Amino acid sequence: MRILAIESSCDETAVAVVADGRYVLSSCVASQIDAHAVYGGVVPEIASRMHVEAISPLYHQALAEAGMHPTDIDAVAVTYAPGLIGALLVGVNFAKGLAMALCKPLIPVHHIRAHIAANYLSAEESEPVRPPFLALVVSGGHTQIIGVDGYTTFRILGRSRDDAVGECLDKSARKLGLPYPGGVHLDRLGQGGNPSAYRFPRPKVENAPYDFSFSGLKTVAVNLIHNNKDLNQKDFAASLQAACADYLAGHAVQAAHDFGYDTVALAGGVSANCFLRQKMEQCSNLAGLHLVLPPFAWCGDNAAMIGAQAYYEYQAGHTAGLSLNAQASHSAE
């Protein structure tokens, strides 16, 4: 089954063609990073306008790269939630028009479910992970521990009560003067730094062992940058990321143990972070858990992951009519 998938929830317009939820026939991404960088963060109105400009050329490019004609598509999938409402609406409306014109099913996909499904995209020779497993979802907007009990059956076991870890890293990076989006630059800066040079509070929530609170950690990090004229930026970057990675990996592995999962997968933009990947390897090795890390290419926002999840949503009968609407916030459960 060949699904044409569309993603436009934030600052990347993306269109991909994915076969059987696994084989990426094409994946095209138009990033808006340069446009937002001058403002130090995503400007929703600019994001919507740029999605409108990019989506049609990307659709033609994705088809051409897959060597396909529009009528070869079996279904159209689109991210409908969560994200910036104006941005989501561009993808949803384009997908609706396409599905109607081609008389093909329309499959709505939840962005977080799709980040998890990035782990199903693989080279032909290796067997991808299958549910049940536990996913640690770490992105710019979400930090969640999710039990993936089936391809379309999810349990949110823990979540951030305030900021996501990506927000904490991005804000700290911005205060250091690193370019937007800061996470990847902080990752590079921290390589070879001393991870014990600076101390940070643990992002814990009383009486909720799998929940997180990153806003306090973010405030401590920002204050440290403001108040410390002799800050060693490299050591700061290493210490902050080590603190986040320690806590996230430790808690994901603990949750896997407590809820009886033998496999843990990372998902979301921050899963490209080297500190977190290494810590996940250490913690899951120690606990005897199987670890799945998404390939770097599928960590950030892309449409291939939408096509992967869409395949399973379709099999579960989750299609939509032309009344499909975008939703800014919506649970992955």
* Cβ contacts of 3 within 8 Å, gap of 6 or more: 17, 18, 19, 21, 73, 74, 75, 76, 77, 107, 307, 310, 311, 314
Binding of ligand KG4 by 160 (CB under 6 A): no
CB atoms within 10 A of CB 333: 12
Alpha-carbon distance of 163 to 297, in angstroms, equals 25
> Is residue 203 a contact point for ligand KG4 (CB under 6 A)?
no
- Say whether 46 sits in a helix, a strand or coil: helix
Q: Which stretch binds Zn ion (CB under 5 A): 17-25, 28-36, 131-139, 195-203?
A: 131-139
Question: CA dihedral defined by 232, 236, 239, 245, rounded to 10 degrees?
Answer: -150
State both tokens at 283: 């913690």
C-beta atoms surrounding 64 within 10 Å: 12
Looking at the Cβ atoms of 104 and 142, the one nearer to ligand KG4 is 142
Q: Are 52 and 92 in contact (CB under 8 A)?
A: no
Q: Which one of the spans 68-76, 139-147, 251-259, 304-312 is the region binding Zn ion (CB under 5 A)? A: 139-147
Q: Which is nearer to ligand KG4, 8 or 122 (CB)?
A: 8
Span near ligand KG4 by CB under 6 A; candidates 149-157, 210-218, 265-273, 316-324: 265-273
300 makes contact with ligand KG4 (CB under 6 A): yes
How many residues of this chain interact with Zn ion, rule: CB under 5 A? 2
Nearer to ligand KG4, 147 or 268 (CB): 268
- How many CA atoms within 13 Å lie on the side-chain side of 88? 19
Segment near ligand KG4 (CB under 6 A); pick from 27-35, 133-141, 189-197, 313-321: 133-141
Among residues 11, 12, 167, 301, which is the contact residue for Zn ion, using CB under 5 A?
Answer: 301
Q: Supply the minimum distance, in Å, between the C-beta of residue 246 and ligand KG4.
A: 15
Nearer CB in complex with ligand KG4: 249/270: 270
Residue window 244-283: x/- pattern of binding to Zn ion, with contact defined by CB under 5 A: ----------------------------------------
In the DSSP assignment, the letter for residue 81 is E
How far apart are CB 273 and ligand KG4 at their closest, in Å? 3
| CA–CA separation, 276 and 261 (whole Å) | 20
Residues 123 and 24 sit within 8 Å (Cβ to Cβ): no
Q: What minimum distance in Å lies between the beta carbon of 52 and ligand KG4?
A: 20
Is the Cβ of residue 57 or residue 179 nearer to ligand KG4 in the bound state?
Answer: 179
Residue 86 or 268 with smaller CB distance to ligand KG4: 268
Q: Identify which range of 180-188, 247-255, 308-316, 317-325 contacts ligand KG4 by CB under 6 A.
A: 180-188
Residues 6+ apart with CB under 8 A from 227: none
* DSSP secondary structure string for all residues of 151-209: TTEEEEEEEBSS--HHHHHHHHHHHTTPPSSHHHHHHHHHTTS-TTSS-----B-TT-T
- 246 is a contact residue toward ligand KG4 (CB under 6 A): no
Q: Which residues bind ligand KG4 (CB under 6 A)?
A: 10, 139-141, 166, 169-170, 181-184, 187, 268-270, 272-273, 300-301
Q: Which residues bind Zn ion (CB under 5 A)?
A: 139, 301
